[in-house]
Amino acid sequence: MSELDRIRKEIDKKYKAVTNKISRTKRTTGANVAGSEFDPRMDSGAHNRMRSEARASQYLDRLNLFMSRNNQFIAGSGGAPLPKGYFNKIFKSTEKELNTVQDVRDATIGAIQGPEGFTIAQKQTALPQAGGASVYGPYKRFDREASDITSFSAMKKLQADMVKQIRPDYLPTKINAERERLDKVIDYLGENGSEIGEAIQGMDDYEFDLFWFGTTAASGIFLFYELEKERADGNHKERKQDRTIESKFGEVMPAAEWALNQGKLKREAEVDKNMANLKNQNGKKK
């Protein structure tokens, strides 16, 4: 028997084993691997048409790799096959790391009571549960089951989004981007936005973070911006909700003043802390 014939015979055995594993996986987990990007099989007689030992060996290697015990699948949405190891060891560990970043943020500013009367942490939790269009952030808390994910490519995209949010430069970069976006809106609003614009220019990143991500100011500004654009374009018809939008826009300046005051309180607390540390150090020297 030639080496090529021996490889073909081994492929026959592995092909059947792969088919059995795919059927077993679907039966036990619901993951439909057949025909997916993870299915290593060619048509059942393809290997018999191969004239190259190297090519046949590569095909056999793919079949063997699929049969590895480490190569297991779980079902995503609609039975989409998701690599179990990737989901458990990479996706979920990254998700945990991102949620830790959020926990640290909550511990830092989450307990601050916002101008609406509830804390920033409460707002971040309540709005997504209520199905609100805005998710206060800038971080998004992840707690996904495999059944929430539509494909492996979707899982990798979610993974990349989480990694981006974990990076130390994510928050300052996000704040800068939101400042630029808001500047354009303020310019468009002209006199209506001048007072808000002046307040924002005086904000440091901490204050802008509280203002933009810790209040309803963003929705108030953008809803009013869209309303003004409709009016300017002559496409607007008066609606009952216009008064609500204008009322919401009226809450923006109080939110800005609140954020600026929170920044002042933070700086005062830092001065008090530094003075106390200096006093303790002087006491120890004596």
Please, which pLDDT band fits residue 166 given cuts at 50, 70 and 90?
very high
pLDDT over 80 (residue 53): yes
Q: What is the pLDDT of residue 252?
A: 95
Please, which pLDDT band fits residue 129 given cuts at 50, 70 and 90?
very low
Average of pLDDT values for 109-129?
74
pLDDT over 90 (residue 238): no
Q: Do the beta carbons of residue 204 and residue 164 sit within 8 Å?
A: no
Average of pLDDT values for 71-85?
97
In angstroms, what CA-CA distances link 27 with 24, 34, 54, 233, 244? 5, 12, 34, 59, 54
Which structure tokens are listed for 179? 């400042």
Q: Can you give the pTM of this predicted structure?
A: 0.78
pLDDT over 70 (residue 99): yes
CA 286 to chain CA mean position, Å: 53
Which structure tokens are listed for 122? 């409460």
Average of pLDDT values for 159-165?
94
For residues 77 and 151, what is the distance between their CA atoms, to the nearest angstrom?
7
pLDDT over 80 (residue 60): yes
pLDDT over 50 (residue 132): no
Average of pLDDT values for 232-246?
87
For residues 4 and 50, what is the distance between their CA atoms, to the nearest angstrom?
9
Q: What is the pLDDT of residue 37?
A: 96
pLDDT over 60 (residue 119): yes
Whole-number mean pLDDT of the chain? 89
pLDDT over 90 (residue 284): no
Nearest to 220 by CA among 116, 124, 130, 79: 116
Which structure tokens are listed for 255? 């939110």
Please, which pLDDT band fits residue 273 given cuts at 50, 70 and 90?
confident
Average of pLDDT values for 12-38?
97
